[in-house]
Structures are given as C-alpha cells and as structure tokens.
C-alpha cells in the first residue's frame, strides 16, 4: 500500500453502492407481487411523511437497465440490492411467483453482462403482509422457517449466477423499531406488542431466521458461495483514544443499543452477559438449540454504519459513561445522523477485537447521508456536505485497513434518492438525484467525486 496520507486502498478492494427493493422498485402491483407490511403501513394516514408510499418509488422495476448504466458510469464493480419476498412468494409461503423471479434473474444478468458482481440481500424489511395477517410476522417463530423456505426458493433459481448472499438487513430496525410502538418515527408493521420481553422475542426470531437462512442458502447453492449477515451495531467511539477511554468504549459496546442481543449471539453464539443482566426478566425465551442455529459460520459480516456514540471512562460500577453530543456538534439531514466519522474504524475494531472475531472478513454494506440537495438553475447539485461526510468516513475505513483489520469492501448508501421509510421522499440519500415526478436521474457532485475515488482507488 502507498503511504497512509494518499488514502490508497488495496487493488482488490470492493467499491460498491447499495439500494433495497421497497425503496426503489415501485411496481407494487405488477407481475403478481402482493403487499408487504410497508405497503400496508405507508397507506395508513399519518404514518409516513407527506403520505408517501413505495408504490412507484424510483420505478426501478421498469428502469433497471438504465440504472445499471449509471453503475457502469460510476465505475463500481459491486452492487448490493435486495429481493422483495412478496414479489417472489406473494403469500409469504407456498407458491413461487416465477414472474417475480424473472425480474431478479434479468437484473442479475444485466449486472453480470456489465461486469458488476451482485450482492443479494434476501430481506430488507418488506415482509409479506400475508404473514403479518396470519401470525404477526416476527412475533412468531414460524417466520424463521418461512424465511428459510423463501431463501431456498430464491437460491435454487438464482444460485447458478449469484454467489454473494446476505440474509437479513438491520435486525433491530424491523423488529424493535417495528414493534415498539411509540418510536419516532415508527417502522412497519407498527404492531403494538405489550412488553419489552415481547419486543426482544421478535429479534430472537429474526436471529433464528438468519441461522436457518444461512443453512438453507448453503444447502440450495449449486456452487460455493459467500453468506453474510448485515447488522447496524450501535458503535461506541472513545471520546479520546486514551487506553482508559478505549476500554470504556469496548465495555459499552456490549449493551449499546441492542448489540448484546443481536450481533453478539450471531457472532459468538451467546447473548452478552452484560446485556442479559440488563434485560433481566425481559430477556427473550431461548429454546435449547437456538443459539447453535443462530451461530452459523459466516463468510463475511456486513456493517451498516452512519454514526457513533461517544464514550468516556468513568468512575462508576460499569466503568464508562455515554457522552452526549455537544450543542454545536455537526449533523446531517436526519435527527440521528451526527457526524462521527471514526464510527467506521471503531465498528470494525469492535468486531475484530471486542467480539474477538479478527478472522471475519468485513464489508461496510451501507454508509452515506441525507443532505438538503437543491438543483441549481443549471440543473446541477453541489452536495459538498455529502462529499465531506463520505471523505471522512472513507478515511476512517482506510485507517482500519492500514492497521491490518480485514475490511474488504464499501457500499455507498445509496445509488439514488429513494423512499426513506417513515420519512418518505423528503430525505435524499442518493448520489444520483431523482426527480420523483419525471423519474429523471441526475448525478450529484458526490457521484462524480465517488467515481474519481474508484478510478484512483483512493480517497480524493
Ligand atoms: O435507508 C436506510 C436503509 O434502508 C437501511 N439503513 C439506513 C438507511 C438510511 O436511513
């Protein structure tokens, strides 16, 4: 590697970008697709800003070829997207909709024809409404086996051309944020569960789905393949890199957000002791054999990293304190999107060191920001704030590699502005600007900047 100052990445580093089905596809009633929980939720008055839904979104279903042409212009060789379960198995279980599968086969073939490796996420929040109606989706253990059957159906059909699979995206968001009513903004399905224990049971079921999904993918794949989980741990960042603050950040990582009950069991086969102590009687019921199912060997771990929580050493029984953001601390265009670029480096270091998994190859499967993009009269978008954000985060990724941590790739979120869940189309995360009236895509300054990073293989 050239000197650190040049921020040069290894030649085999995977430069990519990411999207998800419900956020871009549209075509909600086309080709046999049935509703997902997000179709239902977004149609309820007041649930999504401005009453937006993903019914049309970026109309990617009909425009995937021209969107792939943008990937080619960008120069990425890796693209992460998700498959919509209700497009492929509309009732959630049973009959496969071959028309839905054909769409993904065509998409994959178009990527491959353009020299782009598909990284397929099997679940990015859009679970079939039919299963919500039948048994409350993640509230039931049945969801795990239905997910595994869905994985089998997809991998049987696409496994001859796809070798990079990811099971679930961000367990906490579609479980805790979907069932803990009162969250702002809430997520689908928005079904009230009555206790903290019941919320934790939903994430436990999702972990089981991940484990059974890994087994199903490997059993169905006709060729060796890579299987990953995609998680968004709460990243604890030492306020200073003194040994005491570093130890504090490592201790805090166990119970920050839901880490101890999601990423810990997935990677170590155990809920973190500290998390279980904190949960007490609210811990989920864990049946004999569950932890073995959950703790599947992984070929990689995907990390979706946007921000971090500062931690300092403290003279208290736990040995750490969370430091709030200062009044003037910079933030991007989401209430939670504080600028903490070291979050990338520390997310990687926590997996390798704090969870003792230095063997596990890592991918940043999402990183990016919403910004208040405006088109100039000349039709240009000068998103200097996004470039600043991305530059700092890529430098943090580079630091991890320079120190020998196993970071293998980076997927910028997102290729284009899209349906940002409860925020609808109000928050723009894309490096392609989308005009949602005309579906015209326009590259922002950050698109050209990222293309240059990829061309030079370094942060420019
Ligand atoms: O848009 C989302 C994505 O679906 C999951 N990760 C975070 C992104 C930005 O909020």
Give the pLDDT band of residue 63 (cuts 50, 70, 90).
very high
20 CB within 6 A, ligand 1: yes
365 CB within 6 A, ligand 1: no
> Which of ligand 1's atoms lies nearest the C-alpha of 413?
8
Distance 18 CA to ligand 1 centre (A): 10
Q: What is the CA radius of gyration of the chain?
A: 21
271 CB within 6 A, ligand 1: no
pLDDT score recorded for residue 36: 98
* pLDDT tens profile 271-322: 999 999 999 999 999 999 999 999 999 999 999 999 999 999 999 999 999 9
Q: Does pLDDT of 172 surpass 90? A: yes
* pLDDT tens profile 354-403: 999 999 999 999 999 999 999 999 999 999 999 999 999 999 999 999 99
**Per-residue pLDDT averaged across 88-107, rounded?**
98
Q: Which of 42, 304, 416 to mutate to test the pocket of ligand 1 (most atoms within 8 A of CB)?
A: 304
pLDDT score recorded for residue 4: 63
Name the closest-CA residue to atom 1, ligand 1.
420
304 CB within 6 A, ligand 1: yes
> Which of ligand 1's atoms lies nearest the C-alpha of 429?
9
> Which of ligand 1's atoms lies nearest the C-alpha of 232?
6
418 CB within 6 A, ligand 1: no
> Which of ligand 1's atoms lies nearest the C-alpha of 414?
1
Cα 231 off chain centre by: 6
58 CB within 6 A, ligand 1: no
**Per-residue pLDDT averaged across 5-21, rounded?**
97
Q: Does pLDDT of 104 surpass 80? A: yes
Residue 320 near residue 311, CB atoms below 8 Å = yes
| Catalytic residue set | 170, 366
CATH code of the domain made up of 14-456 = 3.20.20.80
| Sign of CA pseudo-dihedral 254, 422, 326, 366 | positive
What's the whole-number average pLDDT of the chain? 97
pLDDT score recorded for residue 402: 98
413 CB within 6 A, ligand 1: yes
Q: How far apart are CA 323 and CA 312, in angstroms?
A: 7
pLDDT score recorded for residue 185: 75
8 CB within 6 A, ligand 1: no
Spell out the SS3 assignment of the chain.
CCCHHHCECCCCCEEEEECCHHHHCCCCCCCCCCCEHHHHHHHCCCCCHHHCCCCCCCCHHHHHHHHHHHHHHHCCCEEEEECCHHHHCCCCCCCCCHHHHHHHHHHHHHHHHCCCEEEEEEECCCCEHHHHHHHCHHHCCHHHHHHHHHHHHHHHHHCCCCCEEEEEECHHHHCHHHHCCCCCCCCCCCCCCCCHHHHHHHHHHHHHHHHHHHHHHHHHCCCCCEEEEEECCCCEEECCCCHHHHHHHHHHHCCCCCHHHHHHHHHHCCCCHHHHHHHHHHCCCCCCCHHHHHCCCCCEEEEECCCCEEEEECCCCCCEEEECCCCCCCECCCCCCECCCHHHHHHHHHHHHHCCCCCCCEEEEEECCCECCCCCCCCCCCCHHHHHHHHHHHHHHHHHHHCCCCEEEEEEECCECCCCHHHHHHCECCCEEEECCCCEEEECHHHHHHHHHHHHCECC
Q: How far apart are CA 112 and CA 390, in angstroms?
A: 27
Q: Does pLDDT of 413 surpass 90? A: yes
170 CB within 6 A, ligand 1: yes
> Which of ligand 1's atoms lies nearest the C-alpha of 366?
6
| Sign of CA pseudo-dihedral 160, 162, 167, 168 | negative
Distance 420 CA to ligand 1 centre (A): 7
Q: Which of 413, 416, 417 to mutate to test the pocket of ligand 1 (most atoms within 8 A of CB)?
A: 413
Spans of all domains in the chain: 14-456
61 CB within 6 A, ligand 1: no
Q: Does pLDDT of 268 surpass 60? A: yes
420 CB within 6 A, ligand 1: yes
Q: Does pLDDT of 72 surpass 70? A: yes
Distance 170 CA to ligand 1 centre (A): 9
Give the pLDDT band of residue 201 (cuts 50, 70, 90).
very high
Above pLDDT 90, what percent of the chain? 96
Q: How far apart are CA 83 and CA 65, in angstroms?
A: 17
Q: Does pLDDT of 44 surpass 50? A: yes
**Per-residue pLDDT averaged across 151-167, rounded?**
99
Distance 80 CA to ligand 1 centre (A): 13
Q: Does pLDDT of 186 surpass 90? A: no
Q: How far apart are CA 265 and CA 268, in angstroms?
A: 5
pLDDT score recorded for residue 1: 45
> Which of ligand 1's atoms lies nearest the C-alpha of 334?
10
CA angle 10, 407, 67 (to 5 degrees): 80
Q: How far apart are CA 105 and CA 89, in angstroms?
A: 15
Please name the residues in contact with 352: beta carbons below 8 A apart, sequence gap of 6 or more.
358, 360, 362, 405, 406
Distance 5 CA to ligand 1 centre (A): 31
Distance 50 CA to ligand 1 centre (A): 19
Give the pLDDT band of residue 192 (cuts 50, 70, 90).
confident
User: What pTM, to 2 d.p., does this model score?
Assistant: 0.98
């Amino acid at each position: 590697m050239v000197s650190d100052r040049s921020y040069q990445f290894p030649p085999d580093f995977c430069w990519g970008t990411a999207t998800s089905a419900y956020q871009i596809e549209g075509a909600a009633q086309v080709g046999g697709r049935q509703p997902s929980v997000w179709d239902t939720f977004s149609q309820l008055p007041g649930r999504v800003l401005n009453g937006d839904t993903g019914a049309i979104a970026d109309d990617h279903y009909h425009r995937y070829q021209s969107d792939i042409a943008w990937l080619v212009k960008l120069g990425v060789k890796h693209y992460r997207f998700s498959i919509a379960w209700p497009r492929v198995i509309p009732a959630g279980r049973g009959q496969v909709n071959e028309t839905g599968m054909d769409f993904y086969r065509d998409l994959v073939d178009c990527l491959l024809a353009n020299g782009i490796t598909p990284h397929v996420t099997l679940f990015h929040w859009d679970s079939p409404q039919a299963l919500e109606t039948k048994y409350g989706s993640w509230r039931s253990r049945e969801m795990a086996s239905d997910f595994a059957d869905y994985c089998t159906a997809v991998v049987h059909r696409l496994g001859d051309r796809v070798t990079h699979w990811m099971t679930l995206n961000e367990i906490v968001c579609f479980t805790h944020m979907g069932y803990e009513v009162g969250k702002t903004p809430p997520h689908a399905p928005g079904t009230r569960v009555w206790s903290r224990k019941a919320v934790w049971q939903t994430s436990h079921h999702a972990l089981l789905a991940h484990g059974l999904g890994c087994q199903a993918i490997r059993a169905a794949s006709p060729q060796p393949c890579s299987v990953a989980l995609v998680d968004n741990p709460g990243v604890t960042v030492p306020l200073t890199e003194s040994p005491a603050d570093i130890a504090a950040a490592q201790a805090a990582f166990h119970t920050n957000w839901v880490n101890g009950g999601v990423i810990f069991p997935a990677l170590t086969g155990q809920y973190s002791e500290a998390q279980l102590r904190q949960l007490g009687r609210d811990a989920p019921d864990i049946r004999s054999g569950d932890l073995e199912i959950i703790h599947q060997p992984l070929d990689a771990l995907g990390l979706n990293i946007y921000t971090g929580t500062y931690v300092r050493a403290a003279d208290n029984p736990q040995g750490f304190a969370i430091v709030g953001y200062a009044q003037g601390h910079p933030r991007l265009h989401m209430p939670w999107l504080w600028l903490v670029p070291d979050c990338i480096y520390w997310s990687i270091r926590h997996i390798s060191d704090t969870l003792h998994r230095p063997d596990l190859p890592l991918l940043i499967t999402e990183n990016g920001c919403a910004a208040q993009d405006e088109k100039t009269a000349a039709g240009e978008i000068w998103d200097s704030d996004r470039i600043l954000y991305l530059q700092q985060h890529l430098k943090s990724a580079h630091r991890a590699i320079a120190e020998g941590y196993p970071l293998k790739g980076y997927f910028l979120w997102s290729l284009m502005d899209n349906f940002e869940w409860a925020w609808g189309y109000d928050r723009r995360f894309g490096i392609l600007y989308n005009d949602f009236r005309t579906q015209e895509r326009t590259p922002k300054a950050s698109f050209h900047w990222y293309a240059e990073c990829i061309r030079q293989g370094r942060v420019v």
